[in-house]
Structure 1
């Protein structure tokens, strides 16, 4: 009987290998029970395999160019999808005819994708939804053309827990190249992003670390946003040892979902960092250089939505609070980037600079201060008069560091932006 079972097992495994063009094993060194490999030309088999995956499976895509419509992975545990290097294994989705993403991952506990390039989907390149213990490593996610025809997000974990994104590159997104949304516990490190509207965005996410990254030649380098109508409030974000530079690219966000009051369409060309309605943020030991509209902007939801107060609930509060900015290297070029003059927020920043420079000869031809705070505090909600009631804490050396832009009064004769930093200096 033992020999009959052995023969049956051998025949079954031979059939699997014949179908998958693969070399399965019982377990690999990382503890996956099943290991499968493919090569270019196996695309239809790969699609079918991913739809029928079992828990604890490692899938190797050997070097070469693959063409897919879309790929889907759902309701699994302990899954690895890997290539042989971002310059060797390339997945092309330019022929995508259906689906909102090139790769969609849903409800997977223990998901890793690594060592490949994905490119040119009609929608997002990879969306990882409602998953946990997610690793995205050495993934290049790009569109060849950076305009509104690109998908919104290149690397897009949302409503996840425990996310690591490292050694990745994103380019061409019409929203954010690297986006972490409505997630608890995330790390973004050693990544690069260029030619996106936002290089990286952390949105309604709690307990995130962003460090050792380089975001450059985007509209805005790095965004920390809290928006209304989402599943959770964000906060407790630290960003340090990053290099945000030369983010002066035009804003090409899509009209509609990406360009409305709550989208990155609000990011002015020339923005290094924007903190919007987010709280418990630390920004320190970064180089924020040659972002020529604003090094750092701190803005409330009221800056982009006059009905923000009506949207306050357990998941949203429009006024940024407990912001600490210290020990960053801040530098700015001699003039606004040309696209800023055509952008609705860019025009406001230009107006702030002009207003300050009209105040006296000592300001002639000065640039807008490095840190722009819109000046909207919780006083607007409780009719208070406290100075700095929301704990905006700044410790930066040098001159021309800070402006309270008094943005709610910009259309009034009483508009009075001030560079008085003392109320906001860290104690």
Structure 2
């Protein structure tokens, strides 16, 4: 009798879960006034649907390969584009003849794209511009080759508010695989990125959380930047429970960004995390392993542009401030990656390691310390003398943890004196 009761109760629970799940899916679809469905071979109809789409429309792209030059929509509300799975619905943009985007979304409020692969555009794969309430979920965004012929960004929301990027995969971008720029209220979670110049980049954006991701085999794993000349100042970024590992790939940024003052071409091969000219950053509980030039770099705008002070305004300040790094797992391999030796910033990192070991016999052949700070503080602007005026806070247990690289004097060998004294930067 007791067993029969338990079996009946179990069946009732399973049935209830099934019904709730079905009703949830049904109710989600019912929120769209119009539901359209297409299959491969109907590309012309899909293009027409994108041009004539009305508010509150969902588009289902059934399993198969679709070929487009580009797709775009603008000035809409409550739109969904869904496939039947990342390995099932594939949008191929390899026939695109010039730059731009594979998919361009502009000024849309309430936009979802999920359940598909987009691949091989000439320009960016998907750009979402001036939009809000964005969900990018279960999306593969890839190029088959990882070189300067690839588009700049795989997943690219810019000037947006309330952005969720979840369970996505980016590969082959000549700039950043997952890039969020000049946006507010951002979550990037459960994503992977490999063989990009930057795995993920949060640029001039506020209130971002980046967690439970894996960025590996890129030039640099994760970048938090503020750049001058943009419409918004960034800050308030948390990154935790991520795995940033083995980012030692060559830098293959396009000629337009490689070597320029602010281009991602400045990212040295072997960089785990780069924090540049931004503020209020917390980096904790991450695994940052086998990024063999620098586990974490903290730098100012002066590290890449001697005229950074002239660009200060309400949207840009070149000094990194209030940087809190704690309770991460940091490890580095035994040697620099080969691509670092032909990279302009990479060569500086090699020089720092050599200088430290030459000026301190006790170091013998130690690697460059895990955290590299360029040493450029607000003292350069205030003529002050404080050792740590900008709130750099480090709480890590590893040995060989820190170097103040003294970038202000790096071009004057007789004055250049990098040092490994972390005492002023330990969290109080």
Q: For 1:99 and 1:82, how far apart are their aligned partners in 2?
A: 25
SS in 2 for 1:155: strand
Query: Aligned to 1:29, what secondary structure does the other structure show?
Result: helix
Alignment partners' CA distance in 2, 1:83 and 1:28: 15
Counterpart Cα distance in 1 of 2:143 and 2:258: 17
The structure-2 alpha-carbon separation of the partners of 1:28 and 1:336, relative to structure 1 and needing over 3 Å to count, comes to: closer
SS, match of residue 279 in structure 2 = coil
1:87 match: 87
Segment drifting more, 93-102 vs 362-371? 93-102
**CA offset digits 1:43-69 (Å, max 9, x no partner):** 011011011100000000000000001
CA distance in 2, matches of 1:36, 1:158: 27
Cα distance in structure 1, aligned partners of 2:63 and 2:99 = 25
C-alpha deviations, 1:60-94, integer Å up to 9, x for none?
00000000010001100000000000000000000
**Which aligned runs of 4 or more in structure 1 are off by greater than 6 angstroms?**
none
Aligned-residue offset at 1:29: 3.3
Deviation at 1:408, TM superposition (A): 1.0
Q: CA deviation at 1:258?
A: 5.6
TM-score (ref. length: structure 2): 0.93
2:277 maps to what in 1? Answer: 277
Question: Which residue number in structure 2 is paired with residue 4 of structure 1?
Answer: none
Q: Whole-Å Cα distance in 2 between the matches of residues 42 and 73 of structure 1?
A: 18
Q: CA deviation at 1:360?
A: 2.5
Structure 2 residue 246 is the aligned partner of structure 1 residue 246: yes
Closer/same/farther in 2, CA of residues 410 and 231 from structure 1, 3 Å limit: same
Asked whether 1:424 is paired with 2:425, we answer yes
**What's the CA shift string for 1:386-409, capped at 9, x where partnerless?**
110000000000210001000110
List gaps (5 residues or longer) in structure 1: 1-25
Report deviation, 1:260: 1.8
Q: What count of residue pairs does the alignment treat as equivalent?
A: 402
Q: Evaluate the alpha carbon distance shift between residue 88 and residue 219 of structure 1 in structure 2; reply closer, same or farther with a 3 A threshold.
A: same
Aligned to 1:341: 341
Gaps of 5+ in 2: 1-25
Over 3 Å counting, the alpha-carbon distance change for 1:71 and 1:259 in structure 2 is farther
Q: How does 1:20-59 map to 2 (within 5 A)?
A: 29-59=29-59
Deviations 1:229-253 (A, max 9, x none): 0010000000000000000000000
User: In the superposition, relative to structure 1, how do residues 258 and 138 fare at CA in structure 2: closer, same or farther (>3 Å)?
Assistant: farther
The alpha carbon displacement at 1:146 in A equals: 0.3
What secondary structure, in the 3-state scheme, does the structure 2 residue paired with 1:355 have? helix
Which residue number corresponds to residue 137 of structure 1? 137
Residues 257 and 264, structure 2, Cα contact 8 Å, conserved in 1:
no
Pairwise CA distance, 1:335: 0.3
Partner of 2:12: none
Q: 1:128-168 deviations in whole A, cap 9, x for unaligned?
A: 00000000000000000000000000000000000000000
Distance in 2 (alpha carbons) for counterparts of 1:360 and 1:228: 38
Question: What secondary structure, in the 3-state scheme, does the structure 1 residue paired with 2:427 have?
Answer: coil
Counterparts of 1:106-125 in structure 2 under 5 Å?
106-125=106-125
> What does 1:77-226 align with in structure 2 at a 5 Å threshold?
77-98=77-98, 100-226=100-226
Aligned partners of 1:125 and 1:141 also within 8 Å = yes
